[in-house]
Structure 1
Amino acid sequence: MYKELIVFASGRPVKVVIRNYTLDDTDGMIAIQKACFPPPFPSDLWWNEEQLREHVTRFPEGAICAEADGQLIGSMTSLLLQDASLSGSHSWESITDSGYIRNHDSFGDTLYVVDLGVIPNYRKTGIGKWLMQSLYEVVVHLKLKRLLGGGRMPGYHVVSAEKSAEQYLTDVAAGVRSDPVISFLLRCGRLPVGIMENYLEDEESCHYAALMEWRNPFMSHKS
């Protein structure tokens, strides 16, 4: 993948390239993690070289980054899975092989999102949405059924004493509430299809995640 576009950062037009990342981008990819997840987030949970090597060798089509002014400013990683491996409940760690994606199935028909990050200086410029759109294009290009992934619900802890995770997600989808992550995913065209308990060690989300889907519009889907 390689495409060029313009975004506006603080009113300034900036040329952005979205492309597949390679091992040559290792330092830049780790720098994105540091910027997106600063201390006290544990540094051993940032991408490491071995994980990135797995991404670019097992499924390079699903490893994309955004670059501006010679700097990596965002990235998104994914893997292919069969529907059978997604039945029932799962955690981020189990479904992504702790981010190593060694469970990637080249015959899978679901593109599963492992990670999405945009550095703070380029948030609210549309980069996250452009990265998501780019993976939709991968779904179409590879003739996959859908894109799927767990989305954090960082606003849930505020109302967790009075609402279930399912009720909170329903409220966000109906526009009754806004959530920093789920509302963004809705604006990107993804729809909620379920709730995952104990998906991540994430106190803000009370360890829940919303399973969010985008279906390939060029394939028929049974209701």
Structure 2
Amino acid sequence: MYKELYVLQNGKPERMIIRNYVETDFDALIDVQRQSFPPPYPEELWWNKEQLMLHTTLFTDGALCAEVNGVIVGSMTCLIVEKQEYEHQHEWSIITDDGYIRNHNAQGDTLYVADICVIPAYRKAGIGKWLVQSMCETVVQLGLISLLGGSRMPGYYKHKEALTPEQYVDQVIAGELNDPVISFLLRCGRVPIGVTHHYLDDKQSCNNAVLMEWRNPFLAKL
């Protein structure tokens, strides 16, 4: 994939490129992870170069980065899975092979989001939404059923004593609460389809994630 467009950063248009990332981008991609996921997010969950190499060799179409003025400011990584194989073991480490995506299945039916991140300085420029839209285009291009992923719910820890994860998600959907990740994905057209309780070592989300899906509108509803 390669596309050029403009995003508004502090009210000023800036030229952005969305493209497949390659080996020469690895250091910059790891720095994007470092900026995007500061403590208490576990440092060991940032991408490493072995993972990134597998992303670029096993499934090039699922390895995207966003570049503004020659600097990588965001990325998104996906793999293809057969959805029903993971419905009863929906943990990030299992469905993404601990981020190494060696379980990528070119014959699968679902494009699964292993990661999406944008550095804080560019989070209001719409870059994350363009990355998600680009992966939705990949779903259509490959004739897959949907784009699916487990969304962090980093605001949940503030409400864990009063609300179950499911109740928290319901209140975000109702507009009674705002969650920076769930609310963002709702704006991208992703729809919550359930909650998984042991998804990722994530203190802010209390290890929970909400499964959010965008279905291919060009296929008959299954």
Q: What TM-score does the superposition give when structure 1 sets the normalisation length?
A: 0.96
- Give, in whole Å, the separation in 1 of the partners of 2:130 and 2:207: 27
Contact 1:89 1:196 in 2 (8 A): no
Where does residue 158 of structure 1 map in the other structure? 158
Give matches, 1:26-175, under 5 Å. Answer: 26-39=26-39, 41-175=41-175
Contact 2:196 2:209 in 1 (8 A): yes
- Give, in whole Å, the separation in 2 of the partners of 1:151 and 1:141: 24
Q: CA deviation at 1:86?
A: 2.1
Larger CA deviation: 165-174 vs 71-80: 165-174
Q: Output the amino acid matched with 1:6.
A: Y
Give matches, 1:1-20, under 5 Å. Answer: 1-20=1-20
Structure 2 unaligned regions, length at least 5? none
Larger CA deviation: 71-80 vs 44-53: 44-53
Provide the aligned C-alpha RMSD in A.
1.2
What secondary structure is seen at the aligned counterpart in 1 of 2:64?
A: strand
Q: Output the amino acid matched with 2:3.
A: K
Contact 2:42 2:202 in 1 (8 A): no
Q: Output the amino acid matched with 2:45.
A: L
Identity of aligned residues (%): 55
Larger CA deviation: 23-32 vs 191-200: 23-32
Where does residue 221 of structure 1 map in the other structure? 221
- Give, in whole Å, the separation in 2 of the partners of 1:89 and 1:192: 18
Aligned length: 222
Q: Output the amino acid matched with 1:216.
A: N
- Give, in whole Å, the separation in 2 of the partners of 1:203 and 1:46: 15
Contact 1:151 1:181 in 2 (8 A): yes
Q: CA deviation at 1:5?
A: 0.6
What secondary structure is seen at the aligned counterpart in 1 of 2:13?
A: strand
- Give, in whole Å, the separation in 1 of the partners of 2:138 and 2:174: 29
Q: CA deviation at 1:207?
A: 1.0
Deviations 1:7-34 (A, max 9, x none): 1111221000001111121111111112
Larger CA deviation: 146-155 vs 21-30: 21-30
Contact 2:65 2:72 in 1 (8 A): yes
Q: What TM-score does the superposition give when structure 2 sets the normalisation length?
A: 0.96
Contact 2:63 2:77 in 1 (8 A): yes
